[in-house]
Amino acid sequence: MTQNLTTVQLGQTGPAVSRLALGAMGMSGMYGQADEATSIATVHAAIDSGANLIDTGDFYGMGHNELLIRQALADRKREDVLLSVKYGALRGPDNSFGGVDTRPAATKNFLAYSLQRLGTDYIDIYRPARLDPNVPIEETIGGLADMVKAGYIRHIGLSEVGAETLRRAAAVHPIVDLQIEYSLISRGIEAEILPVARELGIGVTAYGVLSRGLLSDSLRPGQQFAPSDFRAHSPRFQGENLDANLRLVDALAKIAADHQVTVAQLAIAWVLSRGADIVPLIGARKPERWAEAVAAVDIQLSEAELATIEAAVPADQVAGGRYAPAQMAMLDSER
């Protein structure tokens, strides 16, 4: 089995990144309480397997995630790790979201705090978490480009934007990657966004590859989630929607059993099969879950097998949106 992950270039203008990247959001309470020591062990396991890209956001736990990553990287070489940071989301002390702010002045402010929390003097990939409806994308990218020139950022990325925004942004400064949800049951980018990203030479870092645990063996019909868990507010995980989606997962589980792999491994292998320009972000919170994901890199799927998988999980039969309506309205990628 794979011990050291191979690398691919992230977009036409980006660095060499590991075939799987670690998404750290779940280590800061987005899916319920996480153990810090176990989280740090997971970061170490990822790096030891050859992973070099770690994704975070300054609003994950209101800075907690960045401080956790700083702690995990204290005994590692900074140049061995690529840090990808999302910014711009406004939070309240009650965990509420208050929109986004990506004005150049706000960008500088968010960046200054992230550099301090991460204990570094530069961030490898910096990206607005969402499109700010009050700020032209050209203005946001211009502000980020100034930070590239000043040496505080190495590359500019985007998150959850549509094809038109990608074009407008790329006209101002090279965009290294688009971070966006993509999985067997969230395939909306295939129609327009992915072709435009490829046309422009922009890589894709795909989150939600396991659909927040849906494409795994961890959920059961009727499952209840803690109020602090993102899934407690996601339509896809509610009542009849969850039951209908788990029936799709059951169909996938039969195929996984035939291949002697887990559902999660099959779901990761499917995303990997979409192209070397797509790098899955794996939101593991335990070393054993990361090891399970790494093993998926070795799974080779024929065209016939891919067709069987896609027939078992038709994207148009997925029940419920991937975010609650208020959050969906913030997604430029869904317009």
Tens-digit pLDDT string for the chain (335 aa):
445 899 999 999 999 999 999 999 999 976 667 899 999 999 999 999 999 999 999 999 999 999 999 999 999 999 999 999 999 999 999 888 899 999 999 999 999 999 999 999 999 999 999 999 999 999 999 999 999 999 999 999 999 999 999 999 999 999 999 999 999 999 999 999 999 999 999 999 999 999 878 888 777 777 888 877 778 788 888 888 888 888 888 999 999 999 999 999 999 999 999 999 999 999 999 999 999 999 999 999 999 999 999 999 988 888 788 777 878 777 888 88
Q: Copy the structure tokens of residue 159.
A: 């998150």
User: Which CATH number is 7-219+268-300 given?
Assistant: 3.20.20.100
Cross-strand pairs, 279: 205
Q: Which whole-number Å values give the CA distances from 220 to 75, 179, 187, 243, 315, in the listed order?
A: 39, 29, 23, 8, 20
Please tell me the distance from the alpha carbon of residue 131 to that of residue 159, in angstroms, as a whole number.
Answer: 8
The whole model's pTM is what?
0.93
Using the CB atoms, write b or e for 256-287: b if 16+ within 10 Å.
beeeebbbbbbbbbbbbbbeebbbbbbbbbbb
H or E element, residue 248? helix 239-259
- Strand stretches in 111-207, DSSP E: 123-128, 153-159, 177-181, 203-207
Closest CA to 162 of 130, 187, 136, 138: 130
pLDDT given at position 85: 98
- Give domain limits for the chain: 7-219+268-300
Q: Copy the structure tokens of residue 85.
A: 């940071």
By the 8 A CB rule, do 72 and 39 touch? yes
- The DSSP call for residue 30 is B
The set of catalytic residues is: 60
pLDDT given at position 1: 41
Count CB-CB contacts under 10 A for residue 87.
24
